[in-house]
């Protein structure tokens, strides 16, 4: 009898638990949607329905997501946390959400994304991290977000982005990057090359405006000619420069076909402002070799001049000596004649 009562009470508690709905929220048991928008919540509400598939928590005051924050809703497919005050997220915050498809964390104060954060969510297709303070996305995220089709990173503090992360997003179709302080140096050439390939495959992207260096400030990375990255002397970029003409040809072909269909093509790259060598190392080597050759030629000319002067001096001295000898020869001959005459007169 006691056992029967226990199981009855347990069944009642489970039934009540499954059908429960927080008083701050509105729950629709048919659509399995829980709406808690604009309720002034400081934390994730409890007593949520176990079969909840969509949870909307926009416009609240939630400041952080602790470990297994959504353990009560393992079947979630859509989670919206837009416009809260989230500054920190535990690495295990989404543990158990194996079927989550859409995650919106826009308009918060998130500074760092842990590399393990999305490991439990292999099914995620849409991720919105816009309007936060994210300064870096680790390349280790690649394995956990490989199914993304839409990614928004606009209005953050990104200066660079690991190309390894982007190359893993084989299903990506839409990417938003604008309003970040991008540093357009040699390390961003890989991103530029990836963007051109992404656009060629039909991807959608907004603009990437450079914040640094000063001479490129305000320019879109996609429209900056490769020649302006003349200071990039790392040998690893030789591969990139070797493929520039091939990618440019494909890009123009794609743009031409698109303009025929919709009457508008992708913008051409802006003309180079200053003619500069593509490879500065080769230019410096050419200058050095030219200087060495010129130096050798100058030394040879100097040696020839010294030799010529010495030869001229020797020949001049030789001519003077020869002339002096010729002048002395007649006088010697005349003296000998005078000496012979007395001898002849003395003969009887």
Among 64-78, 195-209, 223-237, 269-283, which stretch is predicted with the lowest mean pLDDT?
269-283
For 298, other C-beta atoms within 10 Å of its C-beta total 10
For 113, other C-beta atoms within 10 Å of its C-beta total 19
- How confident is the model over 11-44, as pLDDT tens digits? 434 444 445 789 989 999 999 999 999 999 999 9
The domain ranges of the chain are: 17-280, 281-328
For 296, other C-beta atoms within 10 Å of its C-beta total 10
- How confident is the model over 169-189, as pLDDT tens digits? 889 999 999 999 999 888 888
Q: pTM of the predicted model, to two decimals?
A: 0.62
Whether domain 17-280 has CATH 1.20.120.140: the reply is no
Q: Please tell me the distance from the alpha carbon of residue 65 to that of residue 92, in angstroms, as a whole number.
A: 9
């Amino acid at each position: 009898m006691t056992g029967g009562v226990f199981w009855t009470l347990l069944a009642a508690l489970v039934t009540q638990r499954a059908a429960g709905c927080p008083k701050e929220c509105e729950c629709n048991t048919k659509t399995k949607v829980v709406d808690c928008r604009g309720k002034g919540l400081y934390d994730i509400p409890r007593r949520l329905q176990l079969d909840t598939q969509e949870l909307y928590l926009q416009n609240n005051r939630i400041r952080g997501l602790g470990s297994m924050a959504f353990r009560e809703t393992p079947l979630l497919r859509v989670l919206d946390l837009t416009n809260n005050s989230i500054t920190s997220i535990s690495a295990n915050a989404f543990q158990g959400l194996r079927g989550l498809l859409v995650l919106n964390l826009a308009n918060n104060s998130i500074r760092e994304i842990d590399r393990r954060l999305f490991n439990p969510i292999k099914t995620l297709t849409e991720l919105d991290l816009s309007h936060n303070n994210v300064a870096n996305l680790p390349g280790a995220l690649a394995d956990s977000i490989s199914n993304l089709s839409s990614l928004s990173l606009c209005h953050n503090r990104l200066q660079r982005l690991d190309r390894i992360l982007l190359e893993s997003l084989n299903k990506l179709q839409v990417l938003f990057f604008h309003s970040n302080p991008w540093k357009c140096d040699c390390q961003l050439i890989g991103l530029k090359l990836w963007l051109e390939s992404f656009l060629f495959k039909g991807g959608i992207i907004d603009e990437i405006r450079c914040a640094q260096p000063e001479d490129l400030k305000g320019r879109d990375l996609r429209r900056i000619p490769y020649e302006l990255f003349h200071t990039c002397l790392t040998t690893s970029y030789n591969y990139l420069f070797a493929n520039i003409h091939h990618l440019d040809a494909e890009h123009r072909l794609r743009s031409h076909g698109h303009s025929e269909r919709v009457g508008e093509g992708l913008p051409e790259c802006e003309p180079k402002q200053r003619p500069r060598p593509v490879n500065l190392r080769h230019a410096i080597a050419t200058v050095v070799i030219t200087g060495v050759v010129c130096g050798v030629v100058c030394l040879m000319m100097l040696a020839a001049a010294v030799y010529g002067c010495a030869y001229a001096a020797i020949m001049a001295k030789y001519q003077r000596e020869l002339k002096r000898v010729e002048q002395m020869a007649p006088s010697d001959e005349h003296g000998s004649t005078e000496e012979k005459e007395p001898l002849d007169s003395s003969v009887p």
